[in-house]
């Protein structure tokens, strides 16, 4: 058996974590041969609820669960962490403007970024799930100057998975027939699900669907799927979000399948003309615990306009918190 790795999870008493933690402990994220120590962070008022979650984890008697740490102190939760899933965030309250939301989260993610910088493993892999995920990841990254910016990522895998499922359903296929899905940009309603390079049964997806359905049904439906879940369920996506977080980390740590790629919000190096330093979702191939942006894809005018609109939104979010960045 391998030595245990330390996995920090924030917002650990919340609804996404109620699915996420059990799957990590079961080995779904890092493999059935990798023991884990869960290091759980919550705000002080939620520590009692967190205790209940930890009791349930104990009661599962997971063979791979080598320990549980519970804390309201980021320096305890991130201590020597090899992986961190930043799920906890400040939700939008009544009357809260977008700017207030960005600022409230900037406060949380700057503290967590600093703690990661100070106490986490130098090789830590960070995934930000809490919204606004891309900009929260940017804030954490900027507050961790001693950690390579490539190690901070934001989750667009749920959008990626939604895009695959909706395309497969339209064409009467299964997700197994869909390869090379791409989500560009922000995890928000400006995200761009691009089917120009996606393959269904080995053939380009846009050639198999109606252009009007793609532009006026598919793209808005993928963009608005989160709102549709809230309307139907009366609560936001939880199990599917946890599943996407597992998928994201698993791909990053253990690699993507040959002939396929995944979407990840990552530190832009200027590829495809996207401003350097934004946390922007690109198609990525993962190997040996590292990611690479898929290069050389043709970008037509239809795609370019949408890639730039979501880039613009991310630049505006960054500018709104600029005064709080180191």
Residue 226 C-beta: closest distance to ligand NAX, Å: 6
Instruction: Write out the binding residues for substrate.
Output: 92, 98, 131, 162
Active site residues: 187
Q: In this complex, which beta carbon is closest to ligand NAX, that of residue 28 or of residue 200?
A: 28
Q: What are the CA-CA distances from residue 1 to residues 33, 121, 321 (Å)?
A: 6, 21, 45
Residue 130 Cβ, how far from ligand NAX at the closest point, in Å?
4
Shortest Cβ 1–ligand NAX spacing (Å): 31
In the bound state with ligand NAX, the residue whose beta carbon lies nearer, of 119 and 238, is 238
Residue (161 or 256) nearer to ligand NAX, CB:
161
| Residues in Cβ contact with 146 at an 8 Å cutoff, skipping those fewer than 6 apart | 117, 122
Pairing outcome for strands 262-267 and 279-287: antiparallel
Tokens of 244: 């996407």
The beta-strand segments (E) located in the chain are 5-10, 36-41, 65-71, 83-86, 125-128, 152-154, 178-179, 182-184, 192-194, 199-200, 203-204, 262-267, 279-287, 290-293
Residue 296 beta carbon to ligand NAX: minimum distance, rounded to whole angstroms: 27
d(CA 80, CA 76): 9
Residue 266, classed as helix, strand or coil, is strand
| Residue 75 beta carbon to ligand NAX: minimum distance, rounded to whole angstroms | 12
- On the question of a cis peptide bond just before residue 132, with omega within 30 degrees of 0, the verdict is yes
The residue among 127 and 200 lying less far from ligand NAX, judged by its C-beta, is 127
Q: Which is nearer to ligand NAX, 52 or 67 (CB)?
A: 52
Residue nearest to ligand NAX (CB): 14
Q: How far apart are CA 258 and CA 286, in angstroms?
A: 10
Report how far residue 126's alpha carbon sits from residue 56's, in angstroms, rounded to the nearest whole number. 25
- Contacts with ligand NAX, residue ranges (CB under 6 A): 10-11, 13-16, 41-43, 46, 87-91, 108, 129-131, 133, 155, 158, 187, 226, 236-238, 241
d(CA 7, CA 24): 9
């Amino acid at each position: 058996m391998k030595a245990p790795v330390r996995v920090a999870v924030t917002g650990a008493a919340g609804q996404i974590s109620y699915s996420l933690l059990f799957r990590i402990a079961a080995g779904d994220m890092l493999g059935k041969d990798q023991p884990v120590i869960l290091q759980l962070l919550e705000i002080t008022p939620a520590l009692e609820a967190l205790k209940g979650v930890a009791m349930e984890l104990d009661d599962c008697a997971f063979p791979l669960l080598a320990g549980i740490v519970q804390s309201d102190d980021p320096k305890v939760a991130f201590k020597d962490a090899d992986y961190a899933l930043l799920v906890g965030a400040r939700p939008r309250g009544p009357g809260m403007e977008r700017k207030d939301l960005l600022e409230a989260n900037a406060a949380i993610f700057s503290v967590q970024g600093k703690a990661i910088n100070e106490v986490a493993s130098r090789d830590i892999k960070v995934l930000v799930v809490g919204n606004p995920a891309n900009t929260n990841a940017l804030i954490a990254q900027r507050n961790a100057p001693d950690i390579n910016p490539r190690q901070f990522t934001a989750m667009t895998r749920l959008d990626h998975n939604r895009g695959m499922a909706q395309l497969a359903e339209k064409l009467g296929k299964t997700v197994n027939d869909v390869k090379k899905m791409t989500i560009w940009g922000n995890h928000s309603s400006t995200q761009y699900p691009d089917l120009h390079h996606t393959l269904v049964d080995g053939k380009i997806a846009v050639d198999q669907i109606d252009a009007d359905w793609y532009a006026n049904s598919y793209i808005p439906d993928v963009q608005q799927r989160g709102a549709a879940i809230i309307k139907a369920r009366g609560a936001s996506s939880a199990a599917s979000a946890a599943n996407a977080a597992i998928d994201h980390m698993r791909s990053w740590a253990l690699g993507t399948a040959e002939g396929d790629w995944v979407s990840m919000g990552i530190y832009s190096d200027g590829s495809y003309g996207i401003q350097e330093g934004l946390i922007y979702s690109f198609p990525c191939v993962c190997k040996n615990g590292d990611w690479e942006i898929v290069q050389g894809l043709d970008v037509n005018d239809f795609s370019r306009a949408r890639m730039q609109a979501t880039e613009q939104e991310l630049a505006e979010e960054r500018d709104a918190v600029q005064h709080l960045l180191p």
